[in-house]
Structure 1
């Protein structure tokens, strides 16, 4: 072998190998089941603040009127004592003109004064526990702190995943969220709660990305859409279970102690879950990869092709020095910075992620403010995500990634903007447009995971996916503040949701289609996506396309 050829880092045909191993046999089904539990658990924690930090009805305490019965939430004199209106009614009060007179039928002063004590309708959330009445910013800040933790988590665990392995990143994230999240149940102050909320998210926010990367790297290119749909359904089931558990265990401390501790069992995945074969080969860990490949072939009862066996034997026989030479690469970010195509693609993907997190979480958070039971509303909004997941499974492999995501962004944008112009006398139409926007943004969010993964190379896939997702958390950081904004300008959140989605749809026109392409293993292969395709036999060939496209 010549010196130049010995430095080719990715000579192994991993797509052919995955095809030889089969797709839905014992080895794969076992791993799908193991990964399914991690995705289901991730959905339970994703936006727990929607219920744990939910608003509860409360009113001012009037000492002059409540000496005999301070637990009556709606006494007869209440309407005369409290002012009309939203926040003023909860945070201001009037005093009886004659303190000696019974408050029932008493005359109250017209002068308003700030409340200093409140009576809560329930103690289910931290609003009651930490006395957050009339401090709406503290309540919504919990969601923002949660998403700031995600912003820091994704690049950290993305680096761990690309440097030390997908398996390590997944197990670390899943077990830490169980340990740290359980501590929230023992919070003795609001400050302690938000600190643990940040640490919990810092540890656990990367569980789903790690599980997603592991899952798609188990497969050939023809099964990515089905895998994405599979994980999307699990997220829906997890979201529905979250709402049902929150309704069953409505007291926030009880909910935490029921939901979080089981995640400590994911430590057992050290022995149960194999590392990504594709990652091992891309990093030069040939012997460990061969061991997993042979075990998978045995479990699946398949015989590897002669060409694959020849490549495996050649990899095993390479001297250590040559393996090290092949695995030596420039720093990841130096490679990215030197590639204008990857840099531009990274910026565009980041806006897609900002839009998805902003609109997806914004609509989910606002769902509990719709008319009716908040748990039912949340389950309804989560349930319609199945429509998006099934739609993606049907169209992504037929009309392509770009067209599917373009339509999803445009439909979401138009639906959200249209809500602004619907009269309040037509609440059913508002709900319909709301659900249509939620379906569309879920379709975009589900598809963007796969599309982003297909645009970047194996050795940097999780890091770059993590970077896009990290930047995207700007959207989820802002989203919890939309209920606050709606207090002042009720139509503005919908317009912001719709505008962001329409811009994302426009940017979709600037990137290449990845339908029927193999996962790129190097920066060079990622740059050439627009000019290469995968044939049914699994062989990549050039096609006549404009190489200047991203």
Structure 2
């Protein structure tokens, strides 16, 4: 038995060394495909911020104007409408003499009545299209439904990725989000729009996880940080493109028809994108892996030794043990270390999605042009991405993410104590918090993927991301909460980040460790980091 295990072990291939030799055009092609997918995610992932954005509106006064009136600010509106707050948009005063034309000096009743008709300053969003005035909960519900779709999607596409491949999951997500999302432009009711929003997200929420996992499985450990930074910058480019296109095509139906259909071009990935070699070997599909490796070697003018080809032909999928070939989740449940790690990672993801999307959504409420504000908030994410690229491989994953969570927490909590007269300080703290949570979000993708084994990596990463969507489900409701308690959202953002920082002290450092292929290897990560000199060359 020991001789057979030794023979099996000797037949396994060192993935990191092999993939490093297959660099060049092969690696560039995969990175390009992943980059375009990341741009698409940045472009389409938060369209509800503008498509379901609030617009100025006021009560229509039928005694003074016709329903099709285009005069939003008439001379008599100051007397007919309450001056401040929600009442200005949801109630009106009745003229004392409805037989006379309404003028600046017209007399109106002191008591206001509830509006049943409204006039809108623009028709650019679904608020006007579906007459959502004074129904703020319906507007914010769009973002919540979007993120519920992500919660449903991630485990499904995670299973698809681990069962049928990273390539399959990536193509399905990228194509379906464009095909289904385009249907929103033909919505005839609010209910139809929300249903399509949900289905779009279920179909497309896993594009970035699939692209990310494919790239880190392609590259060795020394390239993981740069890959994360690269994809992070692609997300920023997608976010900036989203704001620019939203400003150029402000009517929501036009924007959808311009932005979503090009996603169908991702069907070309069937022919252009290779499957993850590491995933193929982990599944025992050595013939498929050898075919891709041979083509890549020919493309990059790299010669493979007979020993390497022999190893590939004889490679076997890493398994825990034959007698332990049970379901994935049963293996996870049997490992207290992985279960504890799964719970902690889930809280990190809840924090990242809650704070990241909460700050992004609130950015359009800041003073000034909402498109410019959104681009500013997205642009500062580059600072976080570059910072991660500089420090993750120097001071480690844990210390970097710990600092990011703590800085974010302190900045967000401090916003609640800034007086109104110092709005510049509140904006500065806001941007610092956004930079810090972006740094944490970017780093937690890589850190989480390094904590789990190859055969379950996408499923467990997808589970953490799925549970994390609880944060993004709540985030769109923060502007609604701020109407009643203005300081509470920023305190909630900060508190969750501080708890996440404390939990960072309980997991192992993954700097200078190889990606684990089995649950046993994942459990031993802490020992690998403590004694890197004792590590053996790990095979696929």
Find the residue that maps to 1:532 and give its secondary structure. Answer: helix
Matches within 5 A, 1:17-416: 17-22=18-23, 25-67=24-66, 70-104=69-103, 105-304=105-304, 308-315=308-315, 329-416=325-412
Number of residue-to-residue matches in the alignment: 534
Q: Distance in 2 between matches of 1:257 and 1:344?
A: 45
Find the residue that maps to 2:132 and give its secondary structure. Answer: coil
Corresponding residue of 2:501: 505
Residues 277 and 379 of structure 1: is their aligned pair in 2 closer, same or farther, counting only changes over 3 Å?
Answer: same
Residues 473 and 370 of structure 1: is their aligned pair in 2 closer, same or farther, counting only changes over 3 Å?
Answer: same
Corresponding residue of 1:547: none
Q: Deviations over 1:31-56 (max 9, x none)?
A: 11122111111111111100000000
Residues 183 and 404 of structure 1: is their aligned pair in 2 closer, same or farther, counting only changes over 3 Å?
Answer: same
The Cα of 1:309 is off from its aligned counterpart by 3.6
Residues 170 and 378 of structure 1: is their aligned pair in 2 closer, same or farther, counting only changes over 3 Å?
Answer: same
Q: Distance in 1 between matches of 2:476 and 2:505?
A: 30
Q: TM-score, normalised on structure 2?
A: 0.95
Q: Distance in 2 between matches of 1:327 and 1:273?
A: 36
- Whether the 8 Å contact between 1:181 and 1:200 is mirrored in structure 2 is yes
1:519 to 515, 518, 521: 515
- Whether the 8 Å contact between 2:12 and 2:314 is mirrored in structure 1 is no
Q: Distance in 2 between matches of 1:272 and 1:498?
A: 44
- Whether the 8 Å contact between 1:10 and 1:282 is mirrored in structure 2 is no
Corresponding residue of 1:455: 451
- Whether the 8 Å contact between 1:20 and 1:305 is mirrored in structure 2 is no
Q: TM-score, normalised on structure 1?
A: 0.94
Corresponding residue of 2:12: 11
The alignment's C-alpha RMSD in Å is 2.2
Q: Distance in 2 between matches of 1:159 and 1:178?
A: 21
Structure 1 gap ranges (5+): 542-550
Q: Does 1:475 align with 2:471?
A: yes
- Whether the 8 Å contact between 2:11 and 2:312 is mirrored in structure 1 is no
2:460 to 459, 464, 476: 464
Q: Deviations over 1:216-269 (max 9, x none)?
A: 111011000000000000000000000000000000000000000001111111
Q: Which segment drifts farther, 92-101 or 392-401?
A: 92-101
The Cα of 1:536 is off from its aligned counterpart by 9.1
The Cα of 1:540 is off from its aligned counterpart by 4.8
Q: Distance in 2 between matches of 1:150 and 1:139?
A: 18
Find the residue that maps to 1:460 and give its secondary structure. Answer: helix
Find the residue that maps to 2:119 and give its secondary structure. Answer: strand
Q: Distance in 2 between matches of 1:59 and 1:67?
A: 14
Q: Distance in 2 between matches of 1:68 and 1:173?
A: 44
Residues 307 and 394 of structure 1: is their aligned pair in 2 closer, same or farther, counting only changes over 3 Å?
Answer: farther
